[in-house]
Each structure stands twice: as C-alpha cells, then as structure tokens.
Amino acid sequence: MSESDEPRWDLLPDDPEQFFSLSGDYDVRDLKRSYNALIKRFKPEKCPEEFQRIRAAFERLNDALRYGETRNPGSLPPQAQFDWSAPPAPGNQTQEPPDEQTILPPSDIDHDESESESTPLLEFPELYERVQQEPLPDIYEELKSLPHKTPYDYYALALISDLITDEELSFPFWLLKGLKAHPEEPALFELLHQYFLTDQTVKGLGKLLVETARVIRNDRFYYLTENAWDRLLREVPFNQFRQVLEACEANLLDHEVDHMLVFYVHLLKAGLWKADPDWIRMILAQIDEYHERMSYWLELEYEFLFLIRSYREQREEFLKGGPIRKLIDQTIIDYCTQSEQVADRRFLECQQTLVSQRDELLKEFNVPSRGCENVIYLWETIAADVSERIDTEWSPDDPATLPEQTHRLAGQLFAETEGAEYRKAVKIPTLAFVLIFLVSIIVGLLFALNKSDSISAILLIAGCLLLFNGVTFIISYLVADVVTQEFYLSWWRRQLLTFYQSHWFPLPYLAAELKRLNGTQIGKEKFRGMSEVAHMLRNDAGLWFYSTAQRLLAACR
C-alpha cells in the first residue's frame, strides 16, 4: 500500500489481512510494519476514528498471530464460521447453567447499540423482522424458554439482554452459556474474544474471567482473555489479580502450554513492576522449562524482559541522581504498563522535557556516567519501538557524510584558542612527571656512587625510587584525566550538544570517527586529544539521552 493510496476501509472488520496488505506466510513483524505505516498517516490525535479502526484490526490479527490461532477468521466461509443454526452436537449437551437471574448479576455496563449494526442480523430475516415489530422483552422471554437453543439464539439473547436488562455483564455471560452448550463454537468464541478486547470497567471482570475458565478449560483460555488480564493488572492490587488468575488456572485441564508461554511473556512486561518477587521467579522458571518451544519473535519479547530485570537491579542506584532520572524511570514504567497510545504519548512528553531542561539533564549525568549501561540499552530499545510508529519524513544524516561532518566538528572542538589551552593544560602534569623522574634518576646515581660498596643499600634506594616514580606517574595520569574531563564539561560537551541540535549520527559511530582522527593532520590542522573526546563521548549518558530526544522530536516535527 503506497502513501497515496486510501486504505480499504470496507475490508474492516471482516478481512484485516487484506486491509494490511498481508498475504502468504507473514509473521508478527510483517504485521507491525504495515500497522506502523498506517498509523503514521492516521495519528490518534488527528484521526481518532480511523486510528481506532486500525488499532482494533491490528489487535485482532496480532493476537491471532502471537497465539497461533486462525489468522483471519473473517476469511473463513460463512457456513464454517457462523453455523448459527446447528443443534448441540451429540455428546456435547450439557446441563443449562443456573437460572439467568442468579448467574447474571446486576450490571452498570452499557453497550453501544451500534454493535448490533455490524452483526449478521440481516441473514436471519424472521428475527430481524420480529425485532422491528414486537417488544424486545417478549422476544427475550421466548428465547429464554427454548429447551434447545442454537448458537444464534444465544447470540440474540446476549444482544437483547444487553439492551433491555440491568444485569451486569449480561452480554458475555450469555455467550458463555452458548459456549457451554456448543463447545468451541467459532462465532461465539470470536464474539467473546472481541468483547474482551473492548475497554470495559473492571467491575465484575474477575468473576467473568473465572466463569470463562469454567467453560473454556483449555490453553485457548489465555488467547481469549489476554486483554482483560492487562486491564485487571493495571487497575487492581496485585494480590487480587493473582487470586483471580490462580482461580482461573485451577479450572484449566489442557496439557498444552504454547498459549500459556505467549501469555506470560506478554504479561510479565507489566507484571515485573507490580508482582512480588516470588511470583516473578516462579513464572520465569515455568517459562524457562519450555523455552525451546518459543518462536523467534517470542524470544525477542523474552529478551526485553531481561533488559527490564537488569535495569531494576540498578534502579535504586540510578534514581539517586535527581528528578530527571525519576522522570526517565517513570517513563520506562509507563511504557511497560500502559496502553501503547498512552505509553507513546508519555515517552514523547519525556523527550520534550529532556530537551527543555537540558542543563538539569547534563548536571544529573556526570562524565563518565557510571552504572547507566543497562538503562541506556533499555531506553534505546524503547526509543526504536516508538520511533517506528512516529517517524514519517524525517531521516538521520547520510552516513556517507559522517567523516566530513566529524572533521568540521573536530575543528570546532579544537579551535585555536581552546586547542592551545588544552594542549598546555595536559602538558603540565606530563612535564612535572618527567622532571620528577629525571631528578630521581640523578639522586639515585649520586647515592649509588656514595654507597657503591653496599649492594643492599643500592637495591633499597632503587626500589624506593621505582615506587616513588610509579606513584608520581599515576598521580600525573589522574591529574591529566581530570583536566581532560574539565575541558569536556566546560567546552567539548557544549559543542557536541550544538552539533546534535542540527545533525544526528549514532553516538558510537561519531566517537569511532573522532578517535580515527586522533593525531592526524588535515591541511594545517593536527588533531590531538580526539581519543579523550571519544572516550568521554561514549561514557556521557546525559548527551546520549539528549541526542535521542532531539532525534525523536525532529521526527515528530
């Protein structure tokens, strides 16, 4: 699909595969690539309705792909997908659940009547005509009294009850009753899955999940209910969440674990921030037991969990720096625990703050920035993910121009005045060491001439001189390092910040190119000290956060 093509909105919601221009053997990465290309054009703040339709189609296909379910249920023949009129299969007849008045508690959930407009009521003219001509309560009571209900009867009961009763969660509970009478009925299952994808209140959600586990007792339970668990984890205390999950899993009988693996890898992204350590260790051990069954993309998701865990091990030390670090920390938590749309917005808001509070950012990350390796790697992974969804026309500088741009930058870093001052400053500790070394040699020779008859005395003074010169060398090296660091903080860092306001190359590439220039002479310029600048640049977390923020904000503009 080209940028100028209008998406085939008529393909939604029935054919999300064709909507995303996917065919053949595609995977999660192909789907995300197509999805990101669309939401760059239809951003939520500018095109909220279009974005919601794209997002709903993406979630439907993404869930099916991750869990290995049918990729596009809408592409199945109608008779295979919606066999509404089929009677209960022999041997599958089950006793009706308790009376509807007891299983369906009062509800404060309202469903948009527009949902019914997308359902296949027109394929059943008798009921459709009756709905227009007869009171809904009469039809509802008649359907309830049927001794043997078809899947469509249960769907109609779910829809009508949602319109005329105050029973809590009546729509999904009727679908569950239908699935109990018609196990694995694909249309009822898909309708219930779509219900769990909607952002409903968590009131009564725990009870609904437990009831669902009593009906769907196999590994598909995780695929069916994943979105509901996300909401529950966000909005209730973890102990309550864990109790509901354990109550559900106590009802599952399936020996399959593939859906369980996908579910827990997904759940731990947020769970690592809310769950207690014992539960996390238990779940990770459970995942590791079946690690060889993971797909490639699931391995990548699992590796991201280890980035989070590595950061959490250093998190307490990282947070000691000040409010900017706390903002970065909260943004990481939001990315892991909030919906994609909320997480992206907060991540970009954080970038704006980092740029606008540049001085505070640099102050909190001294050079070298110690103990920041894990958070930088994690932040880079998050930035790459967010960038895929917001990056439209912006692109980084052409890598081929890096040598030219670096040479120009080096000239600014070592301009005549500053370069001369730096060379003079670093020569002082070096000259001091050389002077002390020569003096110690002369003193040693004089002592040796006076004590030529005492070998032990000569060896003693030689050892003392070696120790003294070693300490002197270390001190001179440390002084030179302090001088270099002061020059970096007072001059070079400002020039690098200015550079990243108008250019963007990955910091490691720029550092490598600066180091390559060290000691080289181009024209009348001879660059010395480039290795030191490159070393400082690689260890400057503040500059790294700043340059990343500039890149993302440039993409937004």
- For residue 360, the number of C-alpha atoms closer than 13 Å in the C-beta half-sphere is 13
Where the chain has pLDDT below 70, the residues are 1-4, 70-125, 391-396, 415-434, 437, 444-445, 447-454, 457-458, 476-483, 522-526, 557
Asked whether residue 251 is domain-assigned, the answer is no
Q: How far is residue 109's CA from residue 17's CA, in Å, rounded to a whole number? A: 31
Pairing mode of beta strands 525-526, 521-522: antiparallel
The helix (H) or strand (E) run that includes residue 197 is helix 186-197
Q: pLDDT value at position 462? A: 72
Number of domains in the chain: 3
Same domain, residue pair 411 and 514: yes
Asked whether residue 332 is domain-assigned, the answer is yes
Q: pLDDT value at position 77? A: 36
Among 390, 424, 447, the domain-final residue is: 390
Same domain, residue pair 368 and 494: no
Same domain, residue pair 446 and 549: yes
C-alpha dihedral (269, 275, 279, 283), degrees to nearest 10: -10
Among 325, 360, 390, the domain-final residue is: 390
Same domain, residue pair 62 and 20: yes
Same domain, residue pair 452 and 486: yes
Q: Which tokens go with 63?
A: 């869930």
Asked whether residue 457 is domain-assigned, the answer is yes
Asked whether residue 542 is domain-assigned, the answer is yes
Same domain, residue pair 548 and 413: yes
Same domain, residue pair 312 and 370: yes
Same domain, residue pair 382 and 409: no
Same domain, residue pair 427 and 552: yes
Same domain, residue pair 424 and 552: yes
Q: How far is residue 509's CA from residue 513's CA, in Å, rounded to a whole number? A: 6
Write a three-state SS string for 44-82. Answer: CCCCHHHHHHHHHHHHHHHHHHHCCCCCCHHHCCHHHHC
Same domain, residue pair 410 and 475: yes
Q: pLDDT value at position 391? A: 61
The reported pTM is 0.77
Q: pLDDT value at position 356? A: 93
Asked whether residue 421 is domain-assigned, the answer is yes
Q: At what angle do helices 455-487 and 416-450 cross, to 10 degrees?
A: 170
Q: How far is residue 553's CA from residue 387's CA, in Å, rounded to a whole number? A: 10
CATH of the domain at 48: 1.10.287
Q: pLDDT value at position 120? A: 41
Buried b (16+ CB within 10 A) or exposed e, 439-474: ebeeebeebeeeeeeeeeebeebeeebeeebeebee
Q: Which tokens go with 349?
A: 């808001």
Write a three-state SS string for 372-413. Answer: CHHHHHHHHHHHHHHHHHHCCCCCCCCHHHHHHHHHHHHHHH
The pair phi, psi for residue 13, each rounded to 5°, is -95, 5
Q: pLDDT value at position 412? A: 77
Q: pLDDT value at position 470? A: 75
Yes or no: say if 368 and 532 are a contact pair by the CB < 8 Å rule: no
* Tokens 């249309």 sit on residue: 187
Among 75, 93, 113, the domain-final residue is: 75
Q: pLDDT value at position 419? A: 58
Same domain, residue pair 428 and 500: yes
Domain range enclosing 443 = 405-556
